[in-house]
């Protein structure tokens, strides 16, 4: 018997993936509704109920966050280049949307000012507790080592958590994926991956997306209990990390703050990944054994 709730989630995930792949293009509501196989008349309310914002609001936020990523980590571009490359019709349109969302113009943007003054700062993920443990002595003791690795393409089954730092949602969706994987004999054994679909420094925590993913065979016949996708073959910066959540946060911070600027690479337009080793039960005192992975391309 078809699980109606799962079917809705799968269809909305397909729209989110479509927007992620095509956010630079003009995306009409009717096209998004068609991807979801819902009537355009009802689609906007269905989408808003599932995601927490309108389809247009979601599209604009994704464009802005991609633009901020370019401004923060990519080679220097003019505002017109940033605007056009991220789906805005002009630099003036980009500037209006940016100021409306964040409270100041993109010309005034720096990562530090964004963290201090952005209109959405109250909603951003609170990492200060983890950051407090990032003294120089701890960083030296961590002994982080980063490798550049070519990973092959992988087919995955996944479940998506919107509000991805809600511990109850994270745990329940992981268990749902693992229960499905056990029935199909993929777990334990196959690769478990977490994919951050958004930037925790720019995305409000209520909208932050996190995917739990399970590696599956290429010839597996898909059902409609979970969603499916592929992780493309890609070069990654890989940092192995064993420790608690504080050490995991320091690992990601090291990758973005210390390693990436000196590496000759920049982030590719794909999601970062946490590749888990062994079995994990998510608790407050969990000790993780994982690889922190950033997809990269030459600078």
- Please give the class, per CATH, of domain 4-119: mainly alpha
> What pLDDT, in 10s, does the model give residues 110-145?
888 887 776 665 565 444 444 444 444 455 568 899
User: What is the pLDDT confidence band of residue 7, given thresholds at 50, 70 and 90?
Assistant: confident
Strand, helix or coil for residue 49: helix
Q: Which residues of 261-291 are buried (b: 16+ CB within 10 A; e: fewer)?
A: eebebbbbebbbbbbbeeebeeeeeeebebb
Dist. CA 106–CA 79, nearest whole Å? 8
- Residue 147 main-chain phi, psi, to 5 deg: -120, 150
The residues, ordered by sequence, that sit 6+ positions from 49 with a Cβ below 8 Å of its Cβ are none
Entry pTM: 0.70
4-119 and 147-298, same CATH topology:
no
The third-level CATH classification (topology) of the domain covering 147-298 is: Multidrug-efflux Transporter 1 Regulator Bmrr; Chain A (3.20.80)
Amino acid 164: pLDDT: 75
Decide: 18 and 8 in contact? Cβ < 8 Å.
no
Residue with tokens 């799968």: 10
Say which residue, 201 or 109, is predicted with more confidence: 109
> What pLDDT, in 10s, does the model give residues 76-110?
889 999 999 999 999 999 999 999 988 899 999 98
Angle at 166 between CA 161 and CA 169, to 5 degrees: 50
Strand partners, 265: 298
Amino acid 130: pLDDT: 45
CA distances to 153, 244, 292 from 196, rounded to whole Å, are 18, 18, 11
Structure tokens given for 244: 């608690």
What is the sign of the dihedral through the CA atoms of 13, 17, 23 and 28?
Answer: negative
Angle at 15 between CA 13 and CA 19, to 5 degrees: 120
Q: Which range, of 19-33, 121-135, 242-256, 277-291, averages the lowest pLDDT?
A: 121-135
> What pLDDT, in 10s, does the model give residues 252-282?
889 888 888 788 887 887 889 999 998 766 6
Domain ranges of the chain: 4-119, 147-298
């Amino acid at each position: 018997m078809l699980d109606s709730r799962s079917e809705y989630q799968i269809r909305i995930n397909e729209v989110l993936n479509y927007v992620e792949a095509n956010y630079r293009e003009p995306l009409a509501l009717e096209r998004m509704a068609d991807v979801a196989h819902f009537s355009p008349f009802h689609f906007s309310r269905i989408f808003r109920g599932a995601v927490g914002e309108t389809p247009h609001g979601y599209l604009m936020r994704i464009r802005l966050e991609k633009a901020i990523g370019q401004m923060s980590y990519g080679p220097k571009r003019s505002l017109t280049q940033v605007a056009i490359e991220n789906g805005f019709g002009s630099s003036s349109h980009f500037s209006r949307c940016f100021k409306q969302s964040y409270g100041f113009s993109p010309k005034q943007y720096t990562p530090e000012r964004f963290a201090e003054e952005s209109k959405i700062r109250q909603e951003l993920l609170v990492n200060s507790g983890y950051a407090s443990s990032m003294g120089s002595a701890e960083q030296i003791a961590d002994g982080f080592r980063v490798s550049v690795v070519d990973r092959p393409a992988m087919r995955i089954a996944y479940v998506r958590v919107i509000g991805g730092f809600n511990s109850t949602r994270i745990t329940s969706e992981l268990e749902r994926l693992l229960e499905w994987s056990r029935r199909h004999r993929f777990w334990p054994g196959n690769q478990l991956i977490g994919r951050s679909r958004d930037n925790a420094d720019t995305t409000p925590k209520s909208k932050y997306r996190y995917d739990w993913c399970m590696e599956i065979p290429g010839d597996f016949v898909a059902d409609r209990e979970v969603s499916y996708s592929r992780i493309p073959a890609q070069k990654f910066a890989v940092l192995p990390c064993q420790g608690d959540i504080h050490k995991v946060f320091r690992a990601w911070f090291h990758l973005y703050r210390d390693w990436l600027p000196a590496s000759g690479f920049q982030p590719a337009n794909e999601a970062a990944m946490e590749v888990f080793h062994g079995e994990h039960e998510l608790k407050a005192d969990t000790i993780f054994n994982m690889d922190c992975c950033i997809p990269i391309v030459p600078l």
